Structure 1
């Protein structure tokens, strides 16, 4: 398995080799307590299996609590968000496209190199630039506020 990458809060580890495997990307993810993934969408389908803990998933205009043993399947181009309101880290398996694995590989930083605290402006700008280059949609602060996420 590859190194663990920090993706501005969530930690991702690519399980499948992106060079050898071109069919899908299997990832292990950890979402620490209090971490929020703002509303976004992309053409990549994602399937999440919660292994430990519970977190909230926003899809199709509502929030749903997802617990260990449950699955969330998000088709491409569906706006979605995540938040871990619990006091424990949630562990997930994520199945998506090779493109999504490559995206995480490009924006992620090895966890042992990430300083504590929020990401710098430079890190945020890099994330936005790469997301746009991949054709991904990122919600505005207003989009996030409309579903109960306050940014900043």
Structure 2
């Protein structure tokens, strides 16, 4: 995949459409490597994930659900959700959201080839928190995440 962005220690994202306001949506391809997760959060943008290969666990509406190849995880606006890959293989998805979400990922992501394995750098974490606040995201606390089985740090 060309022009791949690494978002903290999580998914690797490639924009498949341009980020033009009049398009109304953004199409992205994402790879969730083994053990990769996205902590509990919410935002005003709807997201829809179509699993191309592999399997993800998705948390929404108070419980975890398995999402397999050919299945969809649809996240309405302002819904608290989390995603994790508990398998030993990478999972690939197509994500559809707003141009605004695509812009968010461009601001918080870094070229994947420049990101070292391991936990994210403190500066990257701070940038993520700052940009998320600018976009009005709600980010779950370590306690919120622990309550659904996600351990941060």
TM-score between both structures, scaled by the size of structure 1: 0.97
What is the number of residues matched between the two proteins? 152
Instruction: State the secondary structure of the residue aligned to 1:135.
Output: coil
Instruction: State the secondary structure of the residue aligned to 1:117.
Output: coil
Aligned pairs for 1:119-130 within 5 A? 119-130=120-131
Instruction: State the secondary structure of the residue aligned to 1:130.
Output: helix
Whole-Å separation in 2 of the counterparts to 1:137 and 1:76: 12
Whole-Å separation in 2 of the counterparts to 1:11 and 1:21: 26
Whole-Å separation in 1 of the counterparts to 2:102 and 2:7: 12
Structure 1 position 145, deviation (Å): 0.7
Whole-Å separation in 1 of the counterparts to 2:97 and 2:121: 28
Q: Unpaired segments of 5 or more residues in structure 1?
A: none
Aligned pairs for 1:38-117 within 5 A? 38-117=39-118
> 1:5 aligns to what?
5
Any runs of at least 4 consecutive aligned residues in structure 1 with deviations exceeding 6 A, and if so which?
none
Q: Unpaired segments of 5 or more residues in structure 2?
A: none
Q: Is the 1:54–1:84 contact (alpha carbons within 8 Å) kept by the matching residues of 2?
A: yes
TM-score between both structures, scaled by the size of structure 2: 0.96
> 1:34 aligns to what?
35
Which whole-Å deviations, capped at 9, do the CAs of 1:5-46 have from their partners, x for residues lacking one? 001220000001013753100000000000111000000000
